[in-house]
Structure 1
Amino acid sequence: MTVREQALRAREASRTLGSAIRSAKDAGLQSMADALLKAETVILEANAADVRRAEDAGTGAALIDRLRLTPDRIAGMADGLRALADLPDPVGDVVRGWTNPNGVQVRQVRVPFGVVGIIYEARPNVTADAAGICLKSGNAVLLRGSSSAADSNAAIVTALRAGLAEAELPEDSVQLIPGPREVTGELMAARGLVDVLIPRGGAGLIETVVTQSQVPVIETGTGNCHLYVDRSADHDQAIRIMINAKAQRPSVCNALETLLVHADVADSFVPKALQALAEAGVTVHGDDRFASYGDQVVPVTETDYAEEFLSLDLAAAVVDSLDDALAHIRRYSSGHSETIVTDSQAAANRFVAEVDAAAVLVNASSRFVDGGEFGFGAEIGISTQKLHARGPMGLPEMTSTKYVVTGAGQVRG
């Protein structure tokens, strides 16, 4: 089947989903969750084949971690679908409304996009998350996963489609686009059949989709996330936040990648930070000032400061002021999530006001920048653009709006 044929089927399914009542969509989500758990053995066998191929190809540990599924992760995927069923339905929400002096009523209401295409790498859990969010928001979805997760994605989509059929919803609401690299180009060229594309993955994938797609794109971004330890920071708190943000799960986009420390507290803070990072297995790439506190620090490069490591590596520098920290972040930030640890309200206020990112955190780990942690249920991705959606994208961000104008025969003079 061609991409065009799949898109036409998705368009037909979207007409049913767009007018489906909440109870029908919620039943579909519950059924999809049940189907995932029922197919656990098949999914894990398919995933094991993907992981073996990745290991044989010498794929890095961070990417393999993103690829690997476990019973707990499959249960988490199912739980994410059930959590979506518990959330309000955004379709039909009135964003704003008013009555004109002539009695004409104007309402702006949320409506589905229609057909959403998602192009993503590794992470087969995205398959279920994306399918669930699109279903709940009334959209059909075309899923183009990477070849590295081909078997896993196929097994997951087979289960999800079985769940849809059980709930008497169109199976073509969720479709996987298989095939060679060229079909990705066909999906990006499907303007008029696909309403919006969302890329999830590394910088190369995102850049390719943004620059080459003829279909409108919601841009998700890489996560070069910074933590700035201010001169007034509570050091124990800063250590806890740093280790959680860097080491809890280093292969994700909201993990810490660069540590900046105010020079006034470097003597007391950096040795403690280096000890904690060493215990967590983190390799620190530091500037000369940072390296002066420990032989284990390796020299940092310009590339390191711009890097999304996705591993137990961390760039680090000592800065002379909040101004210098802000300048560093402006130069290297990917606009994802930036953190300050401080007891100064003035410093926190400046940081929040001047940092240009989808999420700015004060005295909290960047690992909280996540749709589930924000209470959105599963997320479709984290947008670093400034149009329509920014930050974790939940159900409202997967809708557009239309104006409904109601009168009683009024005409314009």
Structure 2
Amino acid sequence: MELPPGPRDDPRAWEDDSDPESEPDPDLQAEAYVARVLSPPKVGQAPPRAPLLSVSIASPGALEPRAASKGAPVGVPGLLSLPPELLLEICAYLDARLVLHVLPRVCHTLRDLVRDHVTWRLRAQRRVRAPYPVVEEEDFDWPTACIELEQHLSRWAEDGRWAEYFCLADGHFASIDSVLLLQGWVWSLAALDHRVCSGSWDSTVKLWDMAADGQQFGEIKGKAAVLCLSYRPDILVTGTYDKKVTVYDPRVGPALVKSRRLHSSAVLALLADDRHIVSGSEDRTLVVFDRRADSVVQRLQLDSYLLCMSYQEPQLWAGDNQGLLHVFANRSGRFQLVRSFDVGHRSQITGIKHSLGALYTTSTDKTIRVHVPTDPPRTICTRSHNNVLNGICAEGNLVVAASGGLSLEVWRLQA
């Protein structure tokens, strides 16, 4: 229903400048809102209502000069009048997620300050006080890295005293060599969405459908023990004891696509992405296979052999049989060794998981170590066990380590 025109719809009404009603100033509104956000009221005390106008309304004539409502008088202090350095100092005491997602909605000044990646770079470096990240990259996601970093430091504060620990000791009849977290539970070796594949010393790879109550929907019978796996939508890659890297198509069968003997010893570590297959072997080599060119594009000779890898482009983190961590950088399809670190493990590193703001390692020295992925990594927590630890996975608020004592060691972290 169309309403009849009111007094404000009359064009002549806009020509009258004698309207005593004053419009609120957006900058003053922003200052008042930010002041309430940064200075929450005390318990039991009602929050003060910040006036929208800079003049008093006690006297009838206070609203007559319209210019008084157009902006704060010169010299009147306000939050947005502070230098950017002080605003950043105030933001440093706020949760990173709040700073990133809430403050930009307050006003343009705070939006521009929060959107600047230099802001987040300075904030992250202030938290770690060390070179970070290990591999410099132009498109590094500083806001996400800062959020992950602060969350990681908070969860493992005070030597991890707030992390809830429990052990899953039933259901296994042999030592667990690797683990993967899938939708809140732990499964062996590799997973993709609701599908899980497991490799075994009996030379088979079995595929399971978790959406169908764990029913097996496929099996691959190989010729040698399956020591490592990588599972992607279009390929399933196995690394085996007979020195081969084999590619299957899980969408049809799974059907064998190709098998190459890329190493002179057993394949112990493996990963794949849309373009490459990277494998590490007991022959102390790291081989990079280009899926599109269908050929080996790089072979690196190392001083030790790799047992585990974690990849988030362009950084490849790997643990070796001497207890060292190695960081490789992917530069236009070619991997370069950037750094090698001793993070305190006294024997081989069997599991590694890294992200923008967190780093976990396990070892046969019976410890799990929690680090910050800086140069060099800073260890913030160490947990010792009665048995060797053979693998590590961290997802959401759960960290799961595989134990040689037929159990899974689980930490539930605070939100």
TM-score (norm 1): 0.27
- Compare the two structures and name the one with the higher strand fraction: 2
- Compare the two structures and name the one with the higher helix fraction: 1
Q: Bigger relative contact order, structure 1 or 2, given CA contacts below 8 A and separation 6+?
A: 1
